[in-house]
Structure 1
Amino acid sequence: MAPENPKTDPASSRAGVRFLDGGGAVGALLRDFDWAAHPLGPPQDWPAALKLSVGLCLRSSFPTAIYWGPDFRLLYNDAWTVLADNHPWALGRPAAEARPDVWPVLGAQFRETLAAAEGISHVAQRLMMVRGGVPTETFWSYNSSPILDEDGVAHGILNQGLEVTAQVLNERALIAAKTERDFVLDLVERQRVERDSDDVMHLTAEALGRYLGVDRTGFFDVTPDHIVQYRAGWVGGALSPLTRPIPAAVFGARWDAAMRTGETISFCTPNDRDAPPADALALVGSKAGVTVPLLRGGEWQGGFYLSHAEPRDWTRNEIALIEEVAELSWDAVARVRAVEQLRALNANLAGEVAARTAERDRLWEVSEDLLGIATRDGRWLAVNPAWERALGWSAEHILGRDSQWLRHPEDTGGSAAEIARIAATGRTHRLEKRLRTQAGDYRTFAWQTTLFGDRLYSNARDITEERRQHQELLAAETRTRMVLQAMDGVGVWTYDLANDRFESDSEFAALYGFSPEHVARGVTLADVMGRIHPDDLPSMQATIAHVRATGGDGANEYRLQLPDGSVRWIMARNHVLRDPGGKPGKVVGVGVDVTRQRELEERLRQSQKMEAVGQLTGGLAHDFNNLLTGISGALELMQLRLNQGRMDDLPRYIGAAQSGAARAAALTHRLLAFSRRQPLDPRPTDVAKLIAGMEDLVRGTLGPSIALEVSTGADSWPILADANQLENALLNLCINARDAMPDGGTVTIATHNVVLDATAASERDVPPGPYLSLNVADTGTGMSQEVIARAFDPFFTTKPMGQGTGLGLSMIYGFVRQSGGHVQIDSARDRGTTMTLLLPRHIGEAADLIAAGAGAAIPAGAGETVLVVDDEPTVRMLVMELLGELGYLAIETETGEQALKVLESRARIDLLITDVGLPGGMNGRQVADAARTHRPDLPVLFITGFAENAVVGDGPLEPGMALIVKPFAMDTLAARIRAMLAGA
């Protein structure tokens, strides 16, 4: 439908309406419109502010609308038409008629903007729009600015915005996903501290049941004859616990087949295709449910179930969460069961040791050990009844004789020698002896003999059976492996320290990526270490050394680098088995694959990174839109005044455009500093002199209510840094300190020489060595720990809206880190703040700081020739114009290849000015290096807005080279050119 009262004469053909030229389809509609009958009247009679605003609107590529006059008459551009269902009917209509769905919200905002004559921005504003006849929730970020006449009176609204509905909905989804991730991570951490598998299952069932609001959750095992036996679970009150075994066939063929193949089964009502038979549902009492089968080694061994007493829809996200929790929990159950088996083995071993200890403590008469008392020469004075029970010899056969006649002929040594050693040293003597029984065989005893006064007291323990204990321990170990072997993701192994061989189950081989053939021929320690991730090798080697040296048990976590390139996280626990002599013999190990948990944690970190990126880009777009609006508006007003022949206002508009451009440049410099990608010009710098040169500026910035104290030692070390960036950082810190002391106070600037050892350097993530510490301290309000944690985040600020971009500290952080240093905040509420910049010491003398004053007179050229290389036509044109104004001859090229041809010619070249980033495969640094090959002493000036370290670097440039950062003032460029041609 066309606008009101169209006619064929183009409006743009009449005088005074050139501002309607262009503008695409909407511009054509406005030009063809008969405005004589419209409340706004003919366009040539419109107020200048409305003409200017309409011209800006039509030429903007951004969705832009104007709401003019008391009725807020609606005018807009092509980009805005996609936002309304009633274009072109809405053009020129009152906003209340054209936008009735959103006008209750916008009308109040626009009237507030007109009354205050101040612009306002809205981020993610919720607006209910009618789309296709259906009310739809939408979200918009937009800016509303009052349109003022020359007297400052507001007559309308300039509105620009974009729809962010998809972004808001994605953020909602991210928040929901983060909530689920937090739930899973919290559950995993709580599972880790449990020591009983039933406790792990009950904890999991209750946590997920309460989280999803279901009536019953739990685990079940499946016996070899396919009987479902219910394990630990949780109920919310509407259903009873499941305790009785139920044949799997009761749940139907579909359910049974799915469980065997690992397929999750869910049903929302008893009539669903996947719902169990009615008899089964009556038996368990549920009308909706989810069952996740749990397989080990490809075999169905159990499951995790959720039941609800009433029909319920299960979302895809809920199903995915249930499956993930089931798998993670089953891994946790397997881990705890493995630890339980090892704990049981340890308890058995400890019981045997305790039993042996108790036996030694029994009374003489009932002891099974051979107890005896002998003279100093070894003749027995008394023996206990255990001698006869163990050897068959009565006390009458033994008393008065030594035990030499009973010893095995192959045992070396003798009683006389043994007794002599005991008498000489006065120590307890221990050895093993084989004694002959009355039946003629030999039994082995562990002897312990002590000299007390003139008597020998002996205790001999029969260790014949203990010789066979090692085999029994191996059998117990084998049983443990068999119990754990079927658990998915759990590997069990035995490592023989003496023979360097692993005995393992199939799960161990799967975890470490060994083939069955490799396992068959024997896995060595070198094979296993070859699978360890290089970053984790040192800790693994330390663990092995600890086991060999002490025989102590332990647990650790490490990564495996498998032959297929994948990385797997393993959490392992080792238990050391000792031989009869007490030395470490074998190591029993259990390993659990925790890769999935680590991946989950990594996904959480990635989500947090994406949230930070969203905050960064949102803040950047907001600030740049404001700056570009000011620049483009000033330029269009300048064009309008030129067309009108009015020159008086041009300086004001030029100043506004230059101010916006300077603020945009400062914003990009801060962003590059934050990202550690800004082009730096590091030079040896005396920080004490730099501070002295800034002292008057800092005092003026702080104001009369704040005292400044400066403490810089004469022996302060020089540093290698970009002096201009350091000055900006120091001034920023002083401004922050001033803002933190609204009632006055003291700012202290101090320098100290410090040397960081390895520990201190590691805590600050810098190399050990000498550093200069630059401190800025205030006595202001201080910061909370929450503010300190976010102080270096981009666009984070505690100042009121409109006072600062929130990039100051992030810029300082990026600059200092790019310079190889560290930034530290020490602060507390109501006790002030100290900001510390640690910058690496420069070995050598500091250079004098020379800076050309802005606006200083620039000597004219003397016919020198300058080669300019830049692929941006506008920049190239400006530099060429400046060189011509200064009296230089100039040659311009667009690419590095073209510049190289000029440099290889015989043409006179006194200075090379080149952009760093050039098209065609040859960057500015490569052009400069090629130029120095043909012309070794040629001065080179790099101009860039962003320089990779590989091109310019963070170190000092070579002699005769300098760097100037875009955007730059023309007088600054002129001063740098003259200085370089003069050899300065």
Structure 2
Amino acid sequence: MRATVSLMLQSPVALVTLWGREGVMIYNDAYSTFAGDRHPGLLGSEVRQGWREVASFNDHVLNHVLVGNQTLSYKDMELTLNRDGQARQLWLDLDYSPVLDETGEAIGVLAIVVETTERVNAERVKAADRQRLAQLFEQAPSFMAVLRGPEHVFELTNPAYQQLIGHRQVIGQSVKDAMSDAAEQGYVQVLDEVFRTGIAYRAHGEHFAMQATPEGPVSPRVLDFVFQPIKGADQQITGIFVEGFDVTDQTFAEARRKALIDLTDVIRDQRDPDELGFVAAAILGKALGAQRVGYASIDEVRETLHVSRDWTAPGVESLAGVLELRHYGSFIDSLKADEIVSIGDVREDPRTAGSHQALEAKSARSFVNVPIVENQKLVAVLYVNVDEVRRWEDEDLSLIREFAERIRTAEQRIRGEAALIEAKETLELRVEERTAELMAMEAVLRQAQKMEAVGQLTGGLAHDFNNLLTGIAGSLELMQLRLDAGRTQDLPRYIATAQGAASRAAALTHRLLAFSRRQTLDPKPTDIKQLVNSLEELVQRTVGPGIRIETVNAAGLWPSLIDPSQLENAVLNLCINARDAMPDGGTITIETGNRWLDDRTARERQLEPGQYISLCVSDSGAGMTPEVVAKAFDPFFTTKPIGMGTGLGLSMIYGFARQSGGSVGIYSEVGQGTNVCIYLPRHNGEAEDEAFAPEHAEAPRGEEGETVLLIDDEPTIRMLVSEVLEGLGYHVIAVEDGSAGLKVINGTARIDLLVTDVGLPGGLNGRQVADAARLIRPDLKVLFITGYAENAVLSHGHLAPGMHVVTKPFALDIFANRVRDLIGPQQ
């Protein structure tokens, strides 16, 4: 007994002896540690009292061990004990055996107590971790597999991996034996390399031809995955962990989306329907991983496919040409019924099984045909061929159908646009031809009208000039006869007659030039209000006492840059026309005003928008019909009797207004009178004061040495001008062309004034001579004399300072006064 007690006290294991039927507790130091704050009060106490919370358990032990002389053993027995002031859940290994006396009678119970709480908790944590990992493994969205050993034997696979491989039974089999498709694509060699080197293999967007079952159709898959080596405790490679994602749907969806975007771009940019079909086929073929795609027409009656061009993968032949569809099966009947033909394996489908060899020879082990039916007639088909068994997904069929519909729509649009363009070009050609015909007819008409106008002009001019020349020639002849007879008393009368005829001839010439817009204008900033007021008395005398003249001038009337004498003539002509329209008397109103012409109003008057001065002459006379108004400005048109008008009045006014940058408008109603308005552009400046020189002032004489250089190709004019100037005391140098004039200018002779005709022979006109002279003699004064308006040569009246113009014919005294004014005042 003593030996037993001694061993118990020295043991590192918690030992307690329950003595007698009361189970009095005697224990060692290790048990005192287990007892916690119950020690030492627990020592010598009955076990029922010491551990009240497990009293029934201890009663059970005493009954079986002490009374029944049995042993009891518990592994990881879970008990809740009050220790250190709180209830604790403990796990214990308990071994109970009887303590016998010399007679073999049980007198106590020896209990060995080993607390396993820490180990049980650790094992439970590990088990929970294992369970959690197992759940993650089972529930992971990625596919996972564990391969063991160099043979890559499947140890574990999760449901995602099983779904990927078609739920094949692979556990316990090597990859080579269980997955021949992976072996054929070289993945066993990749696994061997990972196992040998310990370097992981990663793949992104890897295409994998997967069979759902060992004999099932091949389904293209796209995978992201990693082969990760598994190392044991000794860092040796024991297996490979496979994990990855099936990104087939996302990849193909993106490919389909991109294909539709590319198709949209092609449809927008392409104008050739055949090229459109080819490019669209290429986009679809690459998106589906097909071997051939084409868009072709079908002859439904002959059951033939007409292929002009299709897209093929490298090494695959084109179907270009004509194919008898019945040679490849009976699917033509499905196409005629407007049904999509989708065949995963031509060997298995009853429509193609009998012709599968012909189809496979064309790389069409699997194919899709989408019919194009219009007006219940099969007209075209979009076909997609693949050289292996394939399961066509709904997304694939939807994409092919979308391509077929959009290609057909775009093709019809392109052909329709081409037809419209052709029709437009044809119409434009016809319009051009008709326009050319009309222009040719118009040219003939214009020529006829022009010849008629020329006939009227030449006839009228011949008549008027013959009359005027008769008066001039007759007067000169009579003067000669009277001089020969020594009778001079009648000479002034004949001279007056000749001068009057010459003046009327000059006036007629000016009218012709105004009508042709080639008269020489001498524009000046003019106050039109002052001009109209100065004309009022003259107009009244001209129209006679039976006509009342009224003037209405706007306040603040703008000035205009015009030739005032020509405007005076225009006003007089309009007033005379108004007088003739009122044989029984009436009122003529002359009205001026400022006008702003907007785009529409200016366009109606053939002017640029802006500021203008209007000068209107209206009468209360008979008025004109619209037909007469339409022709009022036509040359030679007149409503007056023969001999009463030339028909140049209104056309002259129109020509003057257009030449001055303005226009003329006319409004008239029968019985209501006529209103004619001249529109002249505003001049942004001050008007010049009009100075009127006396008509018959005596011409001043030249001072000694003052020299005039005269250039004119007409000998008569050179003679007359020279005699007039020399008679007034000027020295005159007269030459006949510009070259001779320049020689004089380049010389040393004194020249106070250059008088030159504008139109000169020899290649140099008067303006060019004057400009060249100004380079040599910058202060030289210039007077142009011209018989008609080389207006462009004279810069449309915009002459440099010191340059002036006189129009032929001119009065010699007026010419002499002009010369004196230009040379300068006498000292």
**TM-score, normalization by structure 2:** 0.49
Q: Which has the larger radius of gyration?
A: 2
